[in-house]
Amino acid sequence: MADLVQALLPGRVGLLVRLTAAPGRRAALLDAMHRYSDGLTDEPGTEMFIVHVDPDDDNVVWLYEVFRDEEAQEQHRAAEGFARLMTEVPDLLAAPPGILRLAPLRMSLQEGVLHEDLAL
């Protein structure tokens, strides 16, 4: 049985971002998100970056991001990888991103996820 890892997240900054791909461009948008995700080791203050596909809309991609604090979020915005992403993504979108700021409070994660599902 997997252990449940829990943490309180005071001071973290969260974002929920809605990206609407231009028709036929979702695959290219996802490729851009995957390439960006591969470089996140250069952003140690970006603690979580999850890419979701919308099960009800083939053009929508959701991002959930958690930063250690406001300074880490600013470092994210100034990072080279983010700058590259910002030059590529606008041409793939049908509308400007929708951004909802969040203040993460608590995280619960089945530890097995880290060992089983990520061993791809």
Minimal CA–CA distance to 76: which of 59, 63, 91? 63
AA letter at 94: A
pLDDT at residue 120 in the model: 52
- Alpha carbons 62 and 98: distance in angstroms, whole number: 9
Sheet with 60-67, side-by-side order of all strands: 46-53, 60-67, 13-20, 98-102
Q: What is the pTM of this model?
A: 0.90
Minimal CA–CA distance to 16: which of 58, 59, 62, 54? 62
What's the fold here for domain 4-117? Alpha-Beta Plaits (3.30.70)
H/E element, 24? none
What average pLDDT does the segment 7-21 reach?
96
Q: Which pLDDT tens digit goes with each residue over 36-54? A: 999 999 999 999 999 999 9
Q: Is the pLDDT of residue 3 over 90?
A: no
Token pair 């970006």: residue: 46
